[in-house]
Amino acid sequence: MHIKKPYLIGEIGINHNGDIKIARNLIKNAKDSGFDSVKFQKRSIDIVYDKKTLDTPRESPWGTTTREQKLGLEFEKSEYEEIDKYCKEINIEWFASAWDKKSLEFLEKFDLKYHKIASAMIVDHDFLNEVAKKQKHTFISTGMSTKNDIDNAVNIFKKNNCSYELMHCVSTYPMKVEDANLITINQLKKEYNCNVGYSGHENGVAISLAATMLGITSLERHITLDRTMYGSDQSASLELSGMKNLTSSINKVLLSIGEPSLGKIIDEEIPIAKKLRAHIKN
């Protein structure tokens, strides 16, 4: 069994709370922790949400309506230009999951290697077609999805001859351990004959390590500066210590797999065997 280190994605999402300084710190933490990339979320507020929803009362650091809250969490051109520049400076990839076609076209202004289909968007066939037409490798999360939903998404990307991988995902925040159903990773591999990753919303690193042992090709975890900060995703996120724990633990797990060694005694065992078996006369 040969298991490789998965491509590590630090999902910043909207955990930056509309503050570019927080975003920069999270990008740096991801780089310092050994992550390969960071990911954001991009929405056109008036397309993703209807006026009635946006006008509802909602207390937040940005005001008293849902519109003010959503706008407060959204980065625009100047922030993404700074993100793009900073990621290039410290040599880490970035990309984002668009939630509408306008946001998708916005992201195309940047020279990004990847796209991401959020679990919420996997049922939007027109949107999937638009992403697949871009011909960039796409991570497709499967949270809240039926087999038919996944079938349709895979068929769209195949039809457009666009590279993709599925990401097993359970869309609860934080996810309960008993809901992980990691064996689905093997089921997805067998059913769709493609690379499969894992997008996790659990607390801690144990489940992500177990997913790594199942041979995932990508691993996405939400990251934050402080799990007590404002935001619905913060509690299911890893702080800097958790990020470093994840990457160091993955490295240890992969190192520990080693090579098949049935009947092999390592050099360090020889004097120990001699000492502990001294009383045995064969």
Match 């990004």 to its residue by tokens. Answer: 112
As a whole number of angstroms, the distance between CA 218 and CA 141 comes to 11
Task: Give how far the C-alpha of residue 70 lies from the chain's centroid of Cα atoms, to the nearest Å.
Answer: 22
Task: State the pLDDT at residue 265.
Answer: 96
Q: Give residue-wise pLDDT tens across range 140-190.
A: 999 999 999 999 999 999 999 999 999 999 999 999 999 999 999 999 999
Task: State the pLDDT at residue 219.
Answer: 98
Supply the CATH classification number for the domain 7-276: 3.20.20.70
Q: Which helix (H) or strand (E) holds 104?
A: helix 101-107
User: Could you tell me the two tokens for 171?
Assistant: 């869309």
Task: Give how far the C-alpha of residue 160 lies from the chain's centroid of Cα atoms, to the nearest Å.
Answer: 24
As a whole number of angstroms, the distance between CA 75 and CA 177 comes to 33
Q: Are 27 and 12 in contact (CB under 8 A)?
A: yes
Task: Give the contacts of 41 (CB within 8 A, at least 6 positions apart).
Answer: 13, 14, 96, 97, 99, 118
| Cis, peptide link before residue 57, omega less than 30° from 0 | no
Opening angle at CA 12, ends 11 and 15, nearest 5? 135
Q: Are 138 and 163 in contact (CB under 8 A)?
A: yes
As a whole number of angstroms, the distance between CA 95 and CA 116 comes to 8
**189-219 exposure pattern, b = at least 16 Cβ within 10 A, e = fewer:** beebebbbbbbbbbbebebbbebbebbbbbb
Q: What residue segments make up the domains of the chain, in order of their start?
A: 7-276
Task: State the pLDDT at residue 1.
Answer: 56
What percent of the chain is modeled with pLDDT above 90? 98
Q: The whole model's pTM is what? A: 0.96
| Beta partners for residue 149, in sequence order | none
| Beta partners for residue 196, in sequence order | 166
| Beta partners for residue 189, in sequence order | none
Q: Give residue-wise pLDDT tens across range 205-253.
A: 999 999 999 999 999 999 999 999 999 999 999 999 999 999 999 999 9
Q: Give residue-wise pLDDT tens across range 25-81.
A: 999 999 999 999 999 999 999 999 999 999 999 999 999 999 999 999 999 999 999
Match 């992550």 to its residue by tokens. Answer: 35
Task: Give the contacts of 83 (CB within 8 A, at least 6 positions apart).
Answer: 20, 23, 24, 27, 40, 75, 94
Q: What is the mean pLDDT of the chain?
A: 97
DSSP three-state, residue 164: strand
As a whole number of angstroms, the distance between CA 260 and CA 196 comes to 25
Q: Give residue-wise pLDDT tens across range 79-95.
A: 999 999 999 999 999 99
Torsion from C-alpha of 81, 131, 218, 10, nearest 10 degrees: 30
User: Could you tell me the two tokens for 264?
Assistant: 């092999």
Q: Are 69 and 58 in contact (CB under 8 A)?
A: yes
